[in-house]
């Protein structure tokens, strides 16, 4: 059985040793980059015009769903659907678990901030003893 890449050879250069500058990607870690995004994902309970509805950058949202998909998670990748996705309590709880898992692995405060916003929104609902949904995730 093969070992992990870093165990195979000590003479392979680290990605961090590469002479290529990462400064050209710095905008991806700047929240201002996403402020005026036209493509958004709405998160709401019954109506998109609700005062506490979330409107998230679709680009950042896809970053979260892409990482979740790469880890072969189930609930979060399903949210990246062109059709509205409605979640009951059990699905919201699954999304909360998966969002926490994804956020713990990211060194990206912009994406982690979005994950926290989603978690806060869903937690506020799941803390209500009789609440059973739905919460809708809807992209443009």
Bridge-based pairing of strands 135-139 and 85-87 is: antiparallel
Residue 20: band (very low, low, confident or very high) from pLDDT cuts 50, 70, 90: low
The token duo for 109 is 């405060």
**Rounded mean pLDDT, 22-38:** 75
- Say what the pTM is: 0.81
Residue 1: band (very low, low, confident or very high) from pLDDT cuts 50, 70, 90: low
The token duo for 14 is 């680290």
Return d(Cα 65, Cα 42) in angstroms, integer: 15
Return d(Cα 138, Cα 129) in angstroms, integer: 25
Q: What is the pLDDT of residues 105-123, one digit of tens each?
A: 998 999 999 999 999 999 9
């Amino acid at each position: 059985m093969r070992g992990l890449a870093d165990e195979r050879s000590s003479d392979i250069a680290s990605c961090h040793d590469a002479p290529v500058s990462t400064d050209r990607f710095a905008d991806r870690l700047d929240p201002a980059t996403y402020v005026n995004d036209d493509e958004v994902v709405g998160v709401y309970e019954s109506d998109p015009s609700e005062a506490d509805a979330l409107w998230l950058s679709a680009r950042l949202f896809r970053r979260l769903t892409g990482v979740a998909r790469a880890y072969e998670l189930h609930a979060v990748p399903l949210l990246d659907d062109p059709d509205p996705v409605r979640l009951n309590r059990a699905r919201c709880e699954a999304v909360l678990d998966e969002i926490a898992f994804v956020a713990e692995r990211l060194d990206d405060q912009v994406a982690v901030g979005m994950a926290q916003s989603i978690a806060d929104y869903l937690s506020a609902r799941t803390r209500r003893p009789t609440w059973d949904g739905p919460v809708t995730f809807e992209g443009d």
